[in-house]
Amino acid sequence: VRDVLVVGAGLAGLRTVAALREHGYDGVVRVLGAEGVAPYDRPPLSKHLLDRTSPAWLADDLGHDLHALADEVHLGRAARGLRPLAGGGAAVGTDDGELAASCVVLATGAAAVRVAGWDGARTLHTAADADALRTALGVSPRRLVVVGAGWIGAEVAGVTAAAGHDVTVVEAREAPLAAALGVEVGALTAPWYAAAGVDLRTSAAVASLDAAGVRLADGSHLPADVVLVAVGARPATAWLDGALPLRDGAVPVDEAYRALGPDGPLPGLLAVGDVAVRRSARHGWVPGGHWDEALHGPDVLVRHLLGLPVEGPEPVPYVFSTQLGHDLTMFGLPGPGDRTTVLGDPRDGAGWTVLWSHDDAVTGALVVDRPRDVGAARRLFARDGLPHLPLGPDAAPAADLR
């Protein structure tokens, strides 16, 4: 590997540079970033929306100094277009000219979905977005409408309601977190909203936004001072402008994080983090959106790139969330038709765990307010292949996973 260009200065980009140096790579490493600031951690942006400010977020330097590790760091220079080179690698366009490298790692992450015509609404993906949202809310109680009861919508609703704001969450699906957990399991989180003082409207489609608030499809109007649209994130691949084949908008990669073309891996082109969708022997195609994947994927990428041994099973998809007074930890990737088994009683306040299974193979595990199950759930996926547990209709599952 003659030289490496990392496109995207977020968690996955930083961890790629750090892994290269940790494994002794002494070639030239350059980094392009679009945000104008050094990499920082995003999960606190929603969970600590109101009790942290920009300097604190940006000081979350994730344990590595990008400037000390890379030969060149361009933080306010967005990539615009990519041209694969005949011998491998690519030339990446920027407003200040092209940068070429024999190995290009795409780590441009994701961007919050914006809805055309909803111009006054805010989204939350960057520290600047968080600052703007916090400033808009101010210190006296405001009416906040959050569109979307996904991970970020739920987290923001919880912390803003706890601070005394008047919060309504509008969700088009029948239950919160339906995209990640399915309707049946997502519905188990619905009572948390009222308990936290949040007005949750499910199966409620937004028709339009106006200066005074949000109009729903049923004609009702929700007055709002601030509207946050939290309807998901999409891989940041628009800048590629069709240069690489995409799968569901993301860069498809194999187990070694090599970008895949129609005939197999594209030489000198890799992708990791939210921008990629990873082919997994255990879970099928694993989309981005997982902090843990951006944290640990780069080490696997670099080991393959440098021809170093890769130990242990492939990483398991892992998501965590603190929302509306509850802690959630999820491993694996359940499919839409998978069977669910609930361990514990979601109503008794002592925590519960859900296992998803297909035949008798466990595809996912969600642990809610039960720290003792987290380690056991993680260990389920500590081997190659899916774990098998007796979860058939006649099985009496243990009260917890240990």
Out of 257, 291, 331, 381, name the contact with ligand FAD by CB under 6 A: 291
Residue of 6, 19, 32, 389 that binds ligand FAD (CB under 6 A): 32
Question: Is residue 35 close enough to count as binding ligand FAD by CB under 6 A?
Answer: yes
Task: Tell which one of 107, 175, 224, 368 touches ligand FAD (CB under 6 A).
Answer: 107
Q: How far apart are CA 318 and CA 293, in angstroms?
A: 8
Q: Which is nearer to ligand FAD, 232 or 397 (CB)?
A: 232
Instruction: Assess 110 for contact with ligand FAD (CB under 6 A).
Output: yes
Query: Closest Cα to residue 304, out of 334, 330, 272?
Result: 272
- Nearest 10 degrees: Cα torsion 63, 67, 73, 77: 60
Cβ nearer to ligand FAD, comparing 72 with 359: 72
Sorted by sequence, the CB contacts under 8 Å of residue 289 that are 6+ apart come out as: 110, 233, 274, 319
Is 363 a residue that touches ligand FAD (CB under 6 A)?
no
Determine the Cα–Cα distance for residues 386 and 369; give it in Å rounded to an integer.
Answer: 24
In the complex, which residue's CB is closest to ligand FAD? 10
Report which of 175, 125, 176, 134 is spatially closest to residue 151, judged by C-alpha positions. 176
How far apart CA 294 and CA 133 sit, in angstroms, is 25
Q: Which lies closer to ligand FAD via its Cβ, residue 16 or residue 213?
A: 16
Q: Count of CB atoms within 10 A of residue 261's CB? A: 14
Task: Find the part of the chain contacting ligand FAD (CB under 6 A) among 173-181, 268-276, 339-347, 349-357.
Answer: 268-276
- Indicate the residue among 226 and 319 with the shorter CB distance to ligand FAD: 319
Beta bridge partners of 122: 228
Count helices and strands in the chain by DSSP H and E runs: 11, 26
d(CA 207, CA 220): 10
Does residue 9 contact residue 31 with C-beta atoms inside 8 Å? yes
CB-nearer residue toward ligand FAD: 292 or 369: 292
Q: Quick one: 204 or 228, whose CB is closer to ligand FAD?
A: 228
User: CB of 130: closest distance to ligand FAD in angstroms?
Assistant: 7
312 sits in the region (left: phi over 0; alpha: psi -120 to 50; else beta) called left
Sketch the per residue contact string, 299 through 338, with ligand FAD: x for CB under 6 A, - otherwise: --------------------xxx-----------------
Among 152, 214, 277, 389, binds ligand FAD (CB under 6 A): 152
The amino acid occupying position 377 is: A
Based on CB atoms, which residue is closest to ligand FAD, 236 or 365? Answer: 236
16 vs 357 by CB, closer to ligand FAD? 16
State in angstroms the smallest separation of the CB of 342 from ligand FAD.
Answer: 22
Which residues here bind ligand FAD, judged by CB under 6 A? 7-13, 32-35, 42-43, 45-46, 78-79, 107-110, 124-125, 152, 236, 239, 273-275, 289-292, 294, 319-321
